[in-house]
C-alpha cells in the first residue's frame, strides 16, 4: 500500500508569544488614555449637548474651559508619543541585550522579524490612541470656533 506524502506547514504568524511586563503596562497606559479622552468628551457633551451648543454662547467660562481642554488634549497627545518612544527604546535595548547574549554566531532572522512586528504593533496602537485624542481635540476646536461665530 502506498502512503501519500503530506506535509504540514506552520503559519508562524499564528504563534503568539507571551507579552512582557513592559508591553502590558504600555497597553494599560493606552487604555487609560482612551478612558481619559472619553471622559473629556462626555463631560463636554454633558455641559452642552452636541446639537445644543447655542445654550453656551454667552458663557465665557465655558469657552475658557474648552480652551483648557484643548490644551490638555495637546499635552496628552505629546505624552502618548513620549511614552511610545520610551517603550520602544527600552524594548530595543532588551532585544539587543538578548541578541548579544546568544552564543550562536548566526542570529535567527525569525526573531528579528517578530521584534519588528512587535514594534510596529506598539506604534500602531499609539497612533490609534493619538488619532482618537486628535479627533476629540478637533471637536473641541470646532466647538470653540462655532461659539466665537454665533450671534448673540
75: which 3 cell numbers?
499635552
Over the stretch 68-91, which tens digit does the pLDDT of each residue have? 999 999 999 999 999 988 888 888
Over the stretch 90-144, which tens digit does the pLDDT of each residue have? 888 877 777 777 765 556 667 777 778 788 888 888 999 999 999 999 988 888 8
Find the largest Cα–Cα distance for the chain.
93
Amino acid at each position: 500500500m502506498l502512503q501519500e506524502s503530506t506535509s504540514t506547514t506552520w503559519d508562524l504568524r499564528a504563534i503568539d508569544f507571551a507579552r512582557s511586563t513592559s508591553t502590558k503596562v504600555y497597553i494599560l497606559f493606552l487604555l487609560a488614555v482612551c478612558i481619559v479622552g472619553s471622559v473629556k468628551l462626555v463631560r463636554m457633551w454633558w455641559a452642552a449637548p452636541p446639537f445644543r451648543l447655542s445654550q453656551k454662547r454667552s458663557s465665557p467660562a465655558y469657552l475658557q474651559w474648552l480652551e483648557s481642554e484643548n490644551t490638555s488634549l495637546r499635552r496628552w497627545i505629546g505624552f502618548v508619543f513620549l511614552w511610545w518612544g520610551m517603550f520602544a527604546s527600552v524594548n530595543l535595548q532588551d532585544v539587543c541585550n538578548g541578541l548579544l547574549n546568544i552564543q550562536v554566531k548566526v542570529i535567527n532572522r525569525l526573531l528579528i522579524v517578530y521584534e519588528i512586528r512587535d514594534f510596529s504593533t506598539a506604534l500602531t496602537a499609539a497612533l490609534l490612541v493619538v488619532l482618537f485624542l486628535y479627533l476629540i481635540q478637533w471637536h473641541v476646536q470646532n466647538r470653540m470656533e462655532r461659539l466665537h461665530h454665533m450671534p448673540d
